[in-house]
Structure 1
Amino acid sequence: MSEHVTPAGRAAALAPGSRILVVWPPQILSYFNAGHHLALYQVAGHLRTALPDSEVTVLDATVLRRTWKDIGNDLFQQRYDAIAVMNDFDGIDGLRRFVSYARALSPGTPIVTFGRLSGVNPLFFQQLDIDAVAENGDFEAAVLAALRFFDGETVTAPGVHLRHADGSWHAPSSPGAVLPAQEWYLPTPDEIPYQRYDELYHDDANKFCGIPQRRELVVPAARGCPIGCSYCEVHPIFGRKERRLTVERTVEYIEQSFRTASFEYVAFYAPTFTLDRRWTMDLCERLTADGARFPWKCATTMHHLDEDLVRAMGRAGCVRISVGLETLDPHGHGALPRSKHKSQQDLENLAGWCAQAGIELNCFVIVGLPGTSVEGVRHTIATVQALGGRARPTVYAPWEAARPDLSDEEMAAFNRQLFVPGTHDLDPAQLRDAYEVVFGPQPDVTAVFERIPARAAGADGDPVLLGAS
């Protein structure tokens, strides 16, 4: 490791043989989506490509159930030359503690944090004893830019807030870089603890995004979204212009992954999967022509679906479509972009198309959306269920109230499960009723796994029924 000092007053990070840690700190999860955790592996893979002489370690300490003693052992013994720690809406609890361990056991190691929460409240992280905070741009590009700053190669880092040697923080001099889709690293199955993911998806009453009893391959198909929902982090971080993998690379990744591991369905990780209708139809035609061998699911908006498209998706193996319904209460439309102003008739039409195509309809519903009532939420969910759909309720997060000076406890309340104190007008009885929607019994647990064959890894990637000769 080089002896020169970085602008942040710490040792260089990119000398040949340097050790870099990409980590999600220990915590108790409030929600799990394997797609959100995929960024760990994509950042690590990107760094390995850009810094071939460095040793990059990736650790999802939460999913792997690492203890703080495990973390301490690793930090003390490895003495990493740089640490990239991921943050998320429900990941504040362990982040400050992780930083305290790193500062005590690996002093001098520069730390950059990246993730969804720093994309919407970057100044909050300047409370911590860290050196850089990624605000926008692709995570891979932001982390690499921070490492180059640490190493003294640059004096700025696009999209990244930087702490200088005098302790002062400097805002990004330019927006963060967004990578062409062909530069995205696609992790290999052996990098990711899929068995742990299976366990997290086991109880569907939690309404996590995965399908229980079947193993999921996450395919990061797209980034960016032009819709611009006020409660969504996608466009502030990744931009309003969508970028996508090619259909060819998407299918190749699926086929290769199914050949090497016992995946049973595909989860397309994209903000609005059907935004590019032509791309979606091309993919469906390719999958259908290949025998629709891979069951899959996606998330999109009702506005970007039509009967012909849903029919094509069903033929191509789609088993679940998730949509941001948000509410059927027109009083809540003021908090939504116009493309999400949907009526009960719109929902009935979509539910009918999905039923005819053999696709489960999963609807995201916001509890506490401005202008709506608990009764309106219950009506929305009851309507979804009456139409044979599955509803996934989450609590509205008023990001305009996410100040930089919040405490860790206050910031953690924005995890979309709790109402943020002082940002709603619900009385105690109404608040109890609202929490009943989220934390009460969930009658609409999925049975869609019954339509997905269980399989073992086969040489040709075809589903193999377990127990079959």
Structure 2
Amino acid sequence: MTDVLLIWPPHVPSYFNAGHHSPLYMVAGYLRRQPATGRVDTCEAGTLSMNWKGVGDLLHQGRYDVIAVMNDFDAVDGLERFIEYARELSPDSRLITFGRLSSLNHGFFRQFDLDAVVQSGDYECGVAEYVNTLSRSGPPYIPPAGLPGVAVRQGEGWLEPVGHGGRLDPEQWVLPDIDEIPYQDYDRFYARDEHKFCGIPFRRELVVPAARGCPVGCDFCEVPEIFGLRERRLPVDAVIGYIRDSYDRHPFEYVAFYAPTFTLDRRWVRELCERFIEGPVSPRWKCATTIHHLGEELVALMGRAGCVRISVGLETLEADGQGGLPRSKRTEERKFCALAEWCDAAGIELNAFIIVGLPGTSAEGTARTIERARSVGARVRPTMYTPFHQMTADMTTQQVARFNRQLISGEAAGNATADGSAPRPEADARYAFLFGREDRLTSVHERIPQRTAR
């Protein structure tokens, strides 16, 4: 039997979205169902609640056969230090990494002292392939000829994956075990709305990973490349059952649906809403989608079913900037204003994602987009344009860490300063949108009843 630790290494997050952390627990749940797996533990050391001494204790005392390290765009800062701790304190452990960054820039991870890298497919499939292979091989863990979606170290080189990694049907997903998630730490991140993190302050969130994959195909989004252009979605019954069970066991106050384009399947959304209206499961909830996949009737139904926030990718209202967007994401101002009216009538907060530095846009145009969105009552969440396709395997940790949707990255980063020391006016103007003072805070928590004290 193979004992496994799944860990998010210590680092200071540049952004926090609890949904991005759910794969840690879904991979753990999936491994627990594998016959060759023994003990499976999880550790979120990236929520600012754990020090390196605590990590060292875990590694030294746990003596895991496999340590699966979750990676992300901004979680690489502590990776090298974590690997050093793992090699020193648990020298017999095999180290594999999985996550959004290794799925987009897997070559970057080959510079580190890792034994395997999940490069493609669902994370559960890649980690399970490696763990199951080690269990069959036994010490000294003779690697196979190759694994689907996983690169395996062999001496000084690497065995390339044999084909693309596997993808699970939604019925095979194992939703997160709420008993092992540090919600008190999540609450801390969401308490300050001026940071514009995705959660709702002063209320506890249950994340429901409802769908994977997206056919929209934005080039600044990682979802299609990692999870495919075909959407996979949980059955409504499974969603209802998970919410009911979670609310019975823990004082959650609203649901966050983690799906790239929540209203892509309108029939599914209507069924879910009708079930919420009928009860007995009737939570407050929020979701993210596109303007194109919404309509007045659907928004009204969502409001009656308990929806309190809809987030949409407005991106920009500048005509020159919209030319590079997929056709379904090119938004006319009148359509956005109409959506704002629908949301207001339905009692739903409209949250507009806006991209700063999108090719074809200007700082002045971005300011106009933000002001227009606010003028119709929308909450605005700006992020920096991040050209993931410009990442390369030979980048340093510092270079890769810039691809965090907050700093200017890629080719633009090389021009961010005029003399190597002071930001150019253009860069400074962009950063003002993300890091300037924010005094327009949400009040949507007032629409969500509080449950028993935590």
> Residue 135 and residue 32 in structure 1: after superposition, are their counterparts in 2 closer, same or farther (change >3 A)?
same
SS in 1 for 2:286: strand
Q: Could you tell me how far apart the structure 2 residues matched to 1:412 and 1:223 are?
A: 25
1:277 corresponds, among 262, 266, 271, to: 266
Q: Could you tell me how far apart the structure 2 residues matched to 1:299 and 1:52 are?
A: 38
SS in 1 for 2:274: helix
> Residue 292 and residue 313 in structure 1: after superposition, are their counterparts in 2 closer, same or farther (change >3 A)?
farther
Residue segments in structure 2 that go unaligned for 5+ positions in a row: 138-143, 419-423
Deviation at 1:152, TM superposition (A): 5.2
Question: What's the CA shift string for 1:62-90, capped at 9, x where partnerless?
Answer: 22621111111221222210010000011
Letter of the structure 1 residue corresponding to residue 29 of structure 2: G
Q: Could you tell me how far apart the structure 1 residues matched to 2:48 and 2:248 are?
A: 25
1:176 to 2:165 alignment: yes
2:28 corresponds, among 38, 44, 51, to: 44
The answer to whether the 8 A contact 1:87-1:115 is kept is yes
**Match in the other structure for 1:160:** 150
**Match in the other structure for 2:421:** none
1:229 corresponds, among 218, 228, 235, to: 218
**Match in the other structure for 1:439:** 435
Superposition TM-score, scaled by structure 2 size? 0.94
Where do 1:191-230 residues align within 5 Å?
A: 191-230=180-219
Where do 1:24-423 residues align within 5 Å?
A: 24-51=8-35, 54-63=38-47, 65-151=49-135, 153=137, 154-164=144-154, 166-290=155-279, 293-420=282-409, 422-423=411-412
Deviation at 1:21, TM superposition (A): 0.5
Deviation at 1:53, TM superposition (A): 5.1
Deviation at 1:52, TM superposition (A): 6.4
SS in 2 for 1:211: coil
1:456 to 2:445 alignment: no
Q: Could you tell me how far apart the structure 1 residues matched to 2:125 and 2:180 are?
A: 21
Letter of the structure 1 residue corresponding to residue 165 of structure 2: G
Deviation at 1:173, TM superposition (A): 1.6
**Match in the other structure for 1:462:** none
* Identity of matched residues, %: 51
Q: How many residues align?
A: 441
The answer to whether the 8 A contact 1:292-1:315 is kept is no
Letter of the structure 2 residue corresponding to residue 321 of structure 1: I
Letter of the structure 2 residue corresponding to residue 81 of structure 1: D
Letter of the structure 2 residue corresponding to residue 447 of structure 1: S
Q: CA RMSD in A?
A: 1.6
The answer to whether the 8 A contact 1:292-1:317 is kept is no
SS in 2 for 1:50: coil
Q: Could you tell me how far apart the structure 2 residues matched to 1:27 and 1:170 are?
A: 30
Q: Could you tell me how far apart the structure 1 residues matched to 2:326 and 2:133 are?
A: 38
- Write out the 4+ residue segments of structure 1 that deviate beyond 3 Å after TM superposition: 149-155, 424-427
SS in 2 for 1:200: helix
Question: What's the CA shift string for 1:138-173, capped at 9, x where partnerless?
Answer: 111111112234345553221112211x22113322
Deviation at 1:336, TM superposition (A): 1.3
Question: What's the CA shift string for 1:194-226, capped at 9, x where partnerless?
Answer: 111111100000000000000000001001111
Q: Could you tell me how far apart the structure 2 residues matched to 1:304 and 1:66 are?
A: 41
1:430 corresponds, among 426, 435, 449, to: 426
Q: Could you tell me how far apart the structure 1 residues matched to 2:431 and 2:281 are?
A: 40
Letter of the structure 1 residue corresponding to residue 147 of structure 2: A
Letter of the structure 2 residue corresponding to residue 191 of structure 1: E
SS in 2 for 1:335: coil
SS in 2 for 1:30: coil
